[in-house]
Structure 1
Amino acid sequence: MQFHISRDTDRGLCHCACGRQDRQLNTYDWLYDVPGNDEDTDLVEVQFKNTRKGYYHNVNHLDLQKGDTVAVEASPGHDIGVVTLTGRLVKLQVKKANLKSPDEIKRVYRIAKPTDMDKYYEAKSREHGTMIQSRQIAKDLGLQMKIGDVEYQGDGNKAIFYYIADERVDFRQLIKVLADTFHVRIEMKQIGARQEAGRIGGTGPCGRELCCATWMKNFVSVSTNAARLQDISLNPQKLAGMCAKLKCCLNYEVDDYVEAGRRMPARDIILQTIDSDWYLFKTDILAGLVTYSTDKSIAANLITITAERARAVIEMNRRGEKPEALDEGDAVSTQDRPADLLADADISRFDKAKKKKKAKNRPNRQPAAQQREPKQPKQREQQQPRP
C-alpha cells in the first residue's frame, strides 16, 4: 500500500464509510465535529500496511488531521504511516487495544518530508522481490510454512515477514539467513487463513467484496453449530469461504435465529388429536411456521400451522384434551407465503437456448444428392439454311 495524500485538497480519509484495504481499519469518528475535540488529547492513531496500526503521542503539537502522512518513532529508526483518527476517540481505542504500558505508545516525529517519502517508496519497491526470495529460502530449509507478505519499515531498516503455518515452526535458522541476505532487522509475524484472504481480497459468493478485505478486523471463531441453528445444509463446499474456513457470515444472523427458535415448539413433542398423532416434520424459524406429519419417518398428510397454534395444542394435550383437527381455526393461507418465482422454471432452459443458437449459426449443408455439379446450359444448335 502506498500513500498519495495531497495536503492541498481534502486532507483526510472518509470518516463515515469503509473501503478497500487501505481503509479497512477506519473507525467512524462520531466526535469529529465536537468543539475542542482535537485539544482534549495528544494521542493519534496511525495506520500502516495491511491490518497494522499504532497509537502515538503528538509531542510536537502538530496540526494533524485524518489522512496526513507522518513519520513516527520505530524500533529502530522511524516508520511512515497515515493518521486515521484524532481526538477523544483515540483514548477509547487505546483502552480497547489494552495498551497499559506508557512505553508502548511512541511519538510522532513530523509530517513526512519528500526525503522521507523517497526512502519509503524505495523500501516498498523491494517488498515483492524480498517475498519471492524468502519463499525460496524457506523451501530450501525444509520449513512447512508459507510467507504471504513482506512489509518494510519506512526507513528500510526493518522488515516484517507475515507467514502461515499449520504447525509450530522453528524459524531461528531462517531469521539468520534472511538477516544475512537482506541486511535488515527481521520480525516474523504469524497470520491465519482468514487474514491471508483479507490481504489478498476477492469476491464472495454473495457477489460483494470479502468482508475481511473491506470492514472486518476482528475475527470470531465460526462453528458448524451456527449452520445447524439456521437449518443450513452441512455441505463443506457451500459453508467454506475463500480461505477454506467456515464463512464468517454464518455468525451474522445466528442471534436472530436463536431468539426466534425459543418461540418454536420442541422437536421431540408429539401433538395428539382425535384422529391421530402428529410428528414435527420441518420448521420455518423466521416465519414462525411449523409443519407436522402423521408419519414419523416420511412426509404424510402434511399440515402447516403457526407456532402459537402448536403451543396451544401442546397445552391442551397436557390437560388431557385433544382437538378435532390440528389446524382448527389456524389455517395458514398459501397467499401469505413468499412465492418462489423459479419454482416451476426449467433449469435447463439456458442450455436449450444455446443449442438452438448453435443450430441457427450452423451452415446449411445440402444432401449429397443435391451436391452435384451445376448443369451446363444447352447451346442452341445453329440452324442450317434450307436449300
Structure 2
Amino acid sequence: MDITGVKLRCSQQVYYVYTNNLFVRRNSLCVVETEHGIDMGRVFKKMSSLPDESIKVNGKLLRLATQEDLSLLPQIEALEDRAFAVCKDKITEKKLDMKLVMVKSLFDKTKIIFYFVADGRIDFRELVRDLAAVFRTRIEMRQIGVRDEARMCGGYGTCGRQLCCVNLKEEFEPVSIKMAKDQNMNLHSLKISGMCGRLLCCLGYEYHIYREINESLPSPGFQFIVNNIPFVVEAIDSLKESLILKHNSNTVAIHRDEIRTQNGTFALSDKAIEKIKHSLEVVTEEV
C-alpha cells in the first residue's frame, strides 16, 4: 500500500500516513486523519514502502483539501490567536516559569495543543482546567526543546538563508563538537551555534566527506623523513585535500595524491620528495 509523508499545518515534522488510493502530488493540500485527530497538511513525499522500519504509519489521507476546507482556516487561525492570548495571560497570572511558543488547533477543533519551553517540569494541571473551561475542548500541553522552538518560530541563520530545521530536516540528527573540529572550524561557541543556542545542524551535512578526507591524510604531528631531515605535518587543509609539512622555517604543501600508504603507514611519493628536496635547495641558496 502506498504511503505518503505529510507535513501537518503549523508543523515541520513529517507524519507518514496511508495514501488511501488517492492521487496526490507533492505540495498538495490534503486533509488527513492521524492518531491525534483530523488535521490539514501538505504532501511532502510519496513512497511505496518505508525506508526505515523504525518509522511508523499513523493514519490515512481522507481527501484533497476542498474550497470549503480552505474557507475554515481563518476561523481556526482566529481561535489559535485567541487561545495564545488567553493562555499567555493565565501563565502570567499563575506565575508559571514557562514560555509559550505556539498554539495549534486541530482541523476539526477537537483538540488545542499548546507548545511551550521550560527549564524543568511544570505543574500545569490548574492551567489546563482553566483553558478547558474557556474553550470547551480537549487541551494538550506539549513541552518542546529549544531546537523545536527555533523550527516553529523560524528565522535566518548567519549564512543568510532560512534555518535548515525549517525546510530541510525531517528529524533532528545528533551533532557533536567533533564534527566542528574535524572540519577545522572556529570552535568559538557563537561561530558554530544556531539561533537555538545548540550546534549548527549544517555541521553534519558534509561531515562524512571531511572525515573521509581526514582519514586518508596523516594527522598533525606525523613525521616524514627526507634526506634524514624530519618534516612534521603542521596542518591539514581538508577542502584543498592537502597538508602542510614543516621543518624549522621551511614549509611545503603536499596534496593527497602525493601521499601513499606503505606497510600500514603513510609515505611520500617520488613527486612529493622531489618537491621537498627542491624547497631545501631554495632555502640553502637563500642562506
Q: TM (normalized to structure 1)?
A: 0.59
Pair 1:208–1:331, CA change in 2 (3 A): farther
Out of 55, 61, 67, the residue aligned to residue 17 of structure 2 is: 55
The superposition leaves residues 249-271 of structure 1 with CA deviations (integer Å, 9 ceiling, x where unpaired) of 11111111111111111333333
State the Cα distance separating 1:142 from its structure 2 match.
Answer: 3.1
Distance 1:280 1:92 in 2: 46
Pair 1:286–1:215, CA change in 2 (3 A): closer
CA RMSD of aligned residues (A): 3.8
Matching of residue 160 in structure 1 with residue 113 in structure 2 = yes
Q: 1:6 matched to which residue of 2? A: none
State the Cα distance separating 1:83 from its structure 2 match.
Answer: 5.9
Summarize the alignment of residues 1-387 of structure 1 with structure 2, pairs less than 5 Å apart: 46-49=6-9, 50-51=11-12, 53=15, 55=17, 58=20, 64-66=23-25, 67-70=28-31, 72=33, 79-82=38-41, 84=43, 89=47, 91-92=49-50, 97-99=55-57, 104-105=58-59, 108=62, 112=66, 114=68, 117-274=70-227, 276-295=229-248, 300-307=249-256, 309=258, 328-330=273-275
Task: Say which SS state the counterpart of residue 31 (structure 2) adopts.
Answer: strand
Judge conservation of contact 1:55–1:94 (CA < 8 Å) in 2: no
Distance 1:207 1:192 in 2: 24
| % identity of equivalent residues | 26
State the Cα distance separating 1:308 from its structure 2 match.
Answer: 5.6
Distance 2:191 2:67 in 1: 50
In terms of mean alpha carbon deviation, does 226-235 or 164-173 score higher?
164-173
Distance 2:276 2:226 in 1: 16
Pair 1:331–1:132, CA change in 2 (3 A): farther
Task: Say which SS state the counterpart of residue 253 (structure 2) adopts.
Answer: strand
Structure 1 unaligned blocks of 5 or more: 1-39, 320-324, 334-387
Judge conservation of contact 1:46–1:56 (CA < 8 Å) in 2: no
Distance 1:97 1:266 in 2: 39
The superposition leaves residues 208-267 of structure 1 with CA deviations (integer Å, 9 ceiling, x where unpaired) of 222212221211121111010011110111111122211111111111111111111133
Larger radius of gyration: 1
| Greater helix fraction, Structure 1 or Structure 2 | 2
Structure 2 unaligned blocks of 5 or more: 279-287
| Greater strand fraction, Structure 1 or Structure 2 | 2
Judge conservation of contact 1:194–1:245 (CA < 8 Å) in 2: yes
State the Cα distance separating 1:80 from its structure 2 match.
Answer: 4.0
State the Cα distance separating 1:74 from its structure 2 match.
Answer: 7.1
Task: Say which SS state the counterpart of residue 92 (structure 1) adopts.
Answer: coil
2:8 corresponds to which letter in structure 1?
A: F
Q: TM (normalized to structure 2)?
A: 0.77
The superposition leaves residues 157-215 of structure 1 with CA deviations (integer Å, 9 ceiling, x where unpaired) of 31011112232333223222222233221012232222222222222222222221222
Distance 1:184 1:318 in 2: 69
Distance 1:248 1:332 in 2: 44
Judge conservation of contact 1:145–1:164 (CA < 8 Å) in 2: yes
Pair 1:183–1:190, CA change in 2 (3 A): same
Distance 2:154 2:96 in 1: 26
